[in-house]
Structure 1
């Protein structure tokens, strides 16, 4: 195996073939990056994580509270969760991940941020279906305290609200699905969502029909592969105080 490329893990999952690989980009001076593929889809790369980090910064930034109970939907390479833990107001963080293999990467130190998450006592990684938990309003996302409400729910799973990893996820982005999600939040709680590309005005309007406030942000970041820039979207919606 070349020193410039290594397949770290390959597993069959309910969503398809999942691969974690590490590459060195010679055109960027041998920069080491980690990439995740699901089937033929590139899910994420450590080279591009600004929008995922901004998801936490923007979502938690609107809350004026001394302590925060936070849920992150989707673990991935861990950038959203680590950015949340950098906010010292966060007293508990539950990260819900559907693919058990992704949790194992972090527990086994296969990805750079794994130890940061697994060694922080505020953080717990939960193997579960975020969308199924959101639909069940009889209990919450935290298995240790199923009736607790949360200050913020940060979601980073699908590519966009209209380009999902599995067709069953589409229901979550409907008015009914969003209203169910809102019931898991404390008064004045925040739901924030990452998506690829520019924000979709239609989805911002849909959020505004469910939440007291809703806005979208365009996150622009450098793309060293193309020499230009790329975009990500962060939506932030807040319930009535």
Structure 2
């Protein structure tokens, strides 16, 4: 069966010590579970990935047209990115990640989905702050360093736990009418913004989205939680830029 626990790597990052671990819990199945911790806080786990996959599926199913150019904000363990690459209409995927060790784990294939992302010519890693790039002047910057001012068909965001439970205080200003509007300049007309959350529908954030978007919805994604022996849920916000 192999080791029940292994610390694969631990690195300092701009927001603290970040650690990649692998474990097995025989009581819930014979499979490897990958975990990422920031200090003593759990950031992500391959135990529960339904909503990370649904983020891509819900967002891209709402996108119109072919040859879609897509931004994923937050690489994590790669589930949102790989789910996006499985959509045949996606021709370009930029994965924006602030923490350089997370990118290296995928490039070195220390995590299972790194191999799939590395092998797909549509995918590129972008090392940078999603929140800074989102509000950059579109004439001189933006998500694609090779194409300032480029617009995308969809932007899929999975970084903070929710608009209120932030990974770092520096992202607090993003969840406002002003900065969501600045980000929307990098979407094509009719383009999709979708976002994962660990919490239920946030009325205040829904109002922010409705200020600048149409077809705004909050989808509940349910999954079984064996630790609690009950159903749990995450949510995915989806909104469309007018036009």
**For the superposition of Structure 1 and Structure 2, which TM-score range results when normalised by the shorter chain?**
over 0.9
Count of equivalent residues: 240
* Preserved CA contact (<8 Å) 1:23 1:32: yes
Q: Tell me how far apart the structure 1 counterparts of residues 219 and 167 of structure 2 sit (CA, whole Å).
A: 22
Counterpart of 2:74 in structure 1 is: 74
* Preserved CA contact (<8 Å) 1:137 1:184: no
Counterpart of 1:27 in structure 2 is: 27
Q: Tell me how far apart the structure 1 counterparts of residues 11 and 186 of structure 2 sit (CA, whole Å).
A: 33
Measured after TM superposition, the shift of residue 21 of structure 1 is: 0.1
Q: Where do residues 205-216 of structure 1 align in structure 2 (5 Å cutoff)?
A: 205-216=207-218
* Preserved CA contact (<8 Å) 1:137 1:183: no
**Could you say if the C-alpha distance between residues 187 and 113 of structure 1 is closer, same or farther in structure 2, counting changes exceeding 3 Å?**
same
Aligned-residue Cα RMSD (Å) equals: 1.1
Q: Which runs of 5+ in 2 are unaligned?
A: none
Moved more, 211-220 or 93-102: 211-220
Q: Show CA shifts across 1:107-139 (max 9, x none).
A: 111000001001100000111111110111332
* Preserved CA contact (<8 Å) 2:216 2:238: yes
Counterpart of 1:185 in structure 2 is: 187
Q: Secondary structure at the match of 1:111?
A: coil
- Give the TM-score normalised by structure 2: 0.96
* Preserved CA contact (<8 Å) 2:64 2:191: no
* Preserved CA contact (<8 Å) 2:64 2:190: no
Counterpart of 2:235 in structure 1 is: 233
1:7 lines up with 2:7 in the alignment: yes
* Preserved CA contact (<8 Å) 1:53 1:80: yes
Counterpart of 1:58 in structure 2 is: 58
1:162 lines up with 2:164 in the alignment: yes
Counterpart of 1:126 in structure 2 is: 126
Q: Which runs of 5+ in 1 are unaligned?
A: none
